[in-house]
Structure 1
Amino acid sequence: MEKKVLFLCSQNAARSQMAEAILNIKGRGRFAAYSAGLNPASQIDSFAIEAMKQDDIDISCKVPKSLKEFENVKFDFIITLCDKAINECPSYSSDTITAHWGITDPINFKGADEEKIKFYIKVKKEIMTRINVFLSLPIEKLDKLTLETKLQESEALLKLSQ
């Protein structure tokens, strides 16, 4: 049975959309990924679309979604991608495993278009790396506390390696 994963950030216009698409491809059959925002943008960020296209992943038809759309969905994992989301994330079932991946919002990057796309690609690669670590965990064999600890440890290890 597929585990449900929600990626949560502030606008659901870049990071969480990228994470949803990547996990749905890499974790097909094991995970069903979704994404939402606390204050959804009106559309997906064009630089996020372009960064994903470079890996033949099309998110251009996606739309930002509100967390409210998922209030009756039981998730196995909720992964926040920004500090605002972790601070404002509502409480969920005690069975839900939570983790925080503090990923810089590429929407705030200032620079020429070429510099922006390079930054979005860097963010996408960071998300891919984190998802690869997530997929490598023996999820079926670990209890909730151990999984949360491992997910937080992977956050610390990734920060050290940057």
Structure 2
Amino acid sequence: MNVLFLCTGNSCRSILAEATFNHIAPKGWHAMSAGSKPTGQVHPRSLALLEREGISTEGLFSKSWENLPETPDIVITVCGNADKEACPVYLGSALRTHWGVADPAKATGTEEEINAAFERAYGILRARIEFFFESSIEELIKSKSPSLQRRLDNIGVLRF
């Protein structure tokens, strides 16, 4: 199963999600990330955070959704809702859901406050990804259950 984490810039949230998902995913699952308007670089704080967490950053780069190496089965948008950020809409036939997270790249303040914004975004994404694998998603996909969409959507509103 291929999962696409999608946002606008593909520099922070979708990158954090891609790397974290691939780090904890069981065999047969693969994540990728992309942006509708990629910045062209991964935010250095995202890379530093992943490295501190022991998650590989090899091969991570900011890329467009127009050049995906594989067709996604599930598309998860991670753009935040609170800041009225425009979130891209994937037009393929994949199952789509939204797991909004505030953009840490827009954080201001002290070094500690900015780092805390990245930690919050990572923590939310990691918890949701872990819950994704703990919530019988594989069985729902195999059975083509109509409750799959609801389960995916519910993960996106969980507060951690």
Query: Which band: TM-score by shorter chain?
Result: 0.7 to 0.9
SS of 1:7 mapped into structure 2: strand
Distance 1:106 1:60, change over 3 A: farther
CA contact (8 A) 2:46 2:118 kept: yes
CA contact (8 A) 1:17 1:59 kept: no
Aligned length: 152
Unpaired runs of 5+ residues, structure 2, are none
Give the distance between the partners of 1:24 and 1:60, measured in 2 at CA: 12
Give the distance between the partners of 1:129 and 1:148, measured in 2 at CA: 19
1:136 deviates by 1.3
1:60 deviates by 6.5
1:89 maps to 89
CA contact (8 A) 1:77 1:97 kept: yes
Give the distance between the partners of 1:68 and 1:127, measured in 2 at CA: 24
SS of 1:62 mapped into structure 2: coil
Mapped pair 1:76 → 2:73: yes
1:123 maps to 121
Q: Which amino acid aligns with 2:122?
A: K
Q: Which amino acid aligns with 1:81?
A: V
Q: Which amino acid aligns with 2:76?
A: I
Q: Which amino acid aligns with 2:41?
A: Q
1:100 maps to 98
1:116 deviates by 1.0
1:144 deviates by 5.3
Q: Which amino acid aligns with 2:124?
A: E
- Larger helix proportion of the pair: 1
Give the distance between the partners of 1:60 and 1:107, measured in 2 at CA: 21
Q: What's the % identity of the aligned pairs?
A: 28
1:12 maps to 10
1:52 deviates by 1.3
Distance 1:76 1:144, change over 3 A: farther
Question: 1:50-82 deviations in whole A, cap 9, x for unaligned?
Answer: 221221124275210000002x83211100001
Question: 1:86-125 deviations in whole A, cap 9, x for unaligned?
Answer: xx313211xx221100100000111122221122011101
SS of 2:146 mapped into structure 1: helix
